[in-house]
């Protein structure tokens, strides 16, 4: 099955700096890669996603890049703000009998210092 590795597990940046989180996956058939933000005690919220026919996608301060050959994808947050502090999860879409399922990375705890 799919295996997703995420690094770093914790990341501390100064407000205004950029943050980069990287993930690798094992299943070359995976074709959908979402990123979720989870605040303490709350549900994961989809913040951006990318499909395998695209190499890069941007939404305001957030961007995601995908390298299918190397099987890795990254989340880039620019001009970080304290409210960006949360746990971020990457995921890759595999498949099972019921359709596509997500395999999550281990998560990155991002702390933005004011």
Partner 1 sequence: GAVVSQHPSWVICKSGTSVKIECRSLDFQATTMFWYRQFPKQSLMLMATSNEGSKATYEQGVEKDKFLINHASLTLSTLTVTSAHPEDSSFYICSAPTSGQGGETQYFGPGTRLLVL
Give every strand in the sheet of 19-25, ordered side by side: 4-7, 19-25, 72-77, 62-67, 56-59
Tell me the pairing of strands 19-25 and 10-14: unpaired
Site for partner 1 in 17-36 (CB under 8 A): 32, 34, 36
Q: What's the start-to-end Cα distance of the chain, in Å?
A: 41
Total site size for partner 1, rule CB under 8 A: 25
Nearer to partner 1, 80 or 107 (CB): 107
Nearest approach, Cβ of residue 89 and partner 1 (Å): 6
Q: Is the omega angle on the peptide bond into residue 110 within 30 degrees of 0, that is, cis?
A: no
Site for partner 1 in 46-105 (CB under 8 A): 46, 49, 51, 89, 93, 96-105
Contact positions vs partner 1 (CB under 8 A): 32, 34, 36, 41-46, 49, 51, 89, 93, 96-107
């Amino acid at each position: 099955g799919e295996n997703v590795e995420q690094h770093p597990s914790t990341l501390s940046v100064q407000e205004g700096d950029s943050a980069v989180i990287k993930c690798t996956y094992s299943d070359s058939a995976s074709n959908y890669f979402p990123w979720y933000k989870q605040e303490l005690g709350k549900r994961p919220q989809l913040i951006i996603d990318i499909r395998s026919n695209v190499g890069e996608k941007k939404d305001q301060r957030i961007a995601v890049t995908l390298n299918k050959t190397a099987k890795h994808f990254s989340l880039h947050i620019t001009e970080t703000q304290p409210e960006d502090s949360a746990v971020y999860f990457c995921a890759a879409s595999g498949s099972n009998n019921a359709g596509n399922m997500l395999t999550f990375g281990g998560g990155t705890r991002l702390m933005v210092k004011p």
